[in-house]
Amino acid sequence: MRRTGSCRSLPVGLGILLLLASCAEVEKVVGSLETERGQAVLKGATSAVSGLLPIGLEEEWAIGGAMATQVVARYGGLYENPALLQYVNLVGKAVAMTSDRAERNYAFGVLNSNVVNAFAAPGGYVFVTKGLLRRLRSEAELACVLGHEIAHITQKHILTAIRRSRAVSGLTQLTLASLGKDPKKFDEMIQEGMKSLFEEGLDQNLEFEADRMGAEFCARAGYDPGTARDYLTTLQSLGEGEDDSILRTTHPSAADRLEQLNEHLLKMEMPVSGWAKLEGRYRAARRQGRI
């Protein structure tokens, strides 16, 4: 696919950036990820070594961008409401600024799906569904959900799963240049990441870690970290089969997550009062977003 100087040349799933960034900024974020005949083709180079060493930043962006595109396609596309998108981005970026990788250029999107779920792809892509937003009751609760997904990115949980998979077996280097020469290998890596996201799930300890860190990110931003319990309590109330993913084996049970989170909240040094919940502002954002 050729670059034309227009944002229209970007992969479809990355359009979530357009309302909050100029075309030039988006091009910088996407880097050298392009699409040709449905295959991801990469250009450029950095020196990230596979195996026990972490995947480089440019490779992380490329992997995350490709996964984000598939998440959007799988969950009904993006929900096109500029006001709601801006609101979710403002909350998400406020939390991300307090995270352990605040330098990343995070982008948040709303998926046009009634399923109750949220997703994170490497590099800084975070998605929440309309169904999830309908279930939340405060801005603080949304902040904690986004904080959980941000923690998956800061801790590189999906990238770790990819590095341990067969997709990187036999590779001595993992660079954009080397992957550009072997698009099939890149596609295998993306499918491994999607498998971790939708089928096998992450190790339950990583989900517990994301709950803990997400609550801490929210607290640093001034939101009530205890509202993370509200979301998990909501998940407990969902009936089996009411949601197609988040209650399946891809996540620990809500009861187990609540138990682990409660233990962590008791250990956190937190003031008794002064936390922001912002229920009214959240309701107004939902009305404006027509969900």
Give the containing element (helix H, strand E) for 39: strand 39-42
Work out the pLDDT band at 268, boundaries 50, 70, 90: confident
Residue 3 scores a pLDDT above 90: no
Count how many Cα atoms sit within 13 Å of the Cα of residue 127 in the half-sphere of its side chain.
34
Domain tally for the chain?
Answer: 1
Domain assignment of residue 117, yes or no: yes
The sign of the torsion formed by the CA atoms of 128, 132, 133, 137 equals: negative
Domain assignment of residue 236, yes or no: yes
Domain assignment of residue 2, yes or no: no
pLDDT at 12: 33
pLDDT at 175: 60
Task: Count Cβ atoms below 10 Å from residue 252 Cβ, excluding itself.
Answer: 20
- Give pLDDT tens digits for 237-265: 876 555 444 545 456 788 889 888 888 88
Work out the pLDDT band at 11, boundaries 50, 70, 90: very low
Domain assignment of residue 225, yes or no: yes
Under 8 Å CB-to-CB from 107, ≥6 apart: which residues? 14, 16, 17, 20, 29, 89, 124, 125, 126
Work out the pLDDT band at 2, boundaries 50, 70, 90: very low
The sign of the torsion formed by the CA atoms of 219, 154, 257, 262 equals: negative
- Give pLDDT tens digits for 207-242: 999 999 999 999 999 999 999 988 898 888 876 555
pLDDT at 234: 85
Count how many Cα atoms sit within 13 Å of the Cα of residue 176 in the half-sphere of its side chain.
19
Token digits of residue 177:
């240049």
Under 8 Å CB-to-CB from 161, ≥6 apart: which residues? 192, 193, 196, 202
Question: Could you tell me which of 175, 156, 188, 196 has the C-alpha nearest to residue 47?
Answer: 175
Average pLDDT, the chain: 76
Domain assignment of residue 1, yes or no: no
pLDDT at 135: 94
Work out the pLDDT band at 169, boundaries 50, 70, 90: low
Work out the pLDDT band at 159, boundaries 50, 70, 90: confident
pLDDT at 202: 83
DSSP code of residue 271? -
What is the rounded distance in angstroms from the CA atom of residue 110 to the CA atom of residue 241?
22
Q: Are 39 and 66 in contact (CB under 8 A)?
A: no
pTM over 0.95: no
What is the rounded distance in angstroms from the CA atom of residue 231 to the CA atom of residue 156?
23
DSSP code of residue 178? H
Q: Are 106 and 92 in contact (CB under 8 A)?
A: yes
Q: Which domain holds residue 55?
A: 7-289
Q: Are 211 and 254 in contact (CB under 8 A)?
A: no
pLDDT at 19: 36
- Give pLDDT tens digits for 63-74: 899 999 999 999
- Give pLDDT tens digits for 125-138: 999 999 999 999 99
The single-letter code of the amino acid at 206 is L
The single-letter code of the amino acid at 208 is F
What is the rounded distance in angstroms from the CA atom of residue 196 to the CA atom of residue 60?
16
Count how many Cα atoms sit within 13 Å of the Cα of residue 63 in the half-sphere of its side chain.
34
pLDDT at 132: 95
Residue 52 scores a pLDDT above 60: no
DSSP code of residue 56? P
Count how many Cα atoms sit within 13 Å of the Cα of residue 46 in the half-sphere of its side chain.
15
Domain assignment of residue 281, yes or no: yes
What CA dihedral angle connects 140, 145, 150 and 153, to 10 degrees?
170
Query: What are the angstrom distances between the C-alpha of 234 and each of 138, 239, 255?
Result: 13, 10, 11
What is the rounded distance in angstroms from the CA atom of residue 249 to the CA atom of residue 213?
21
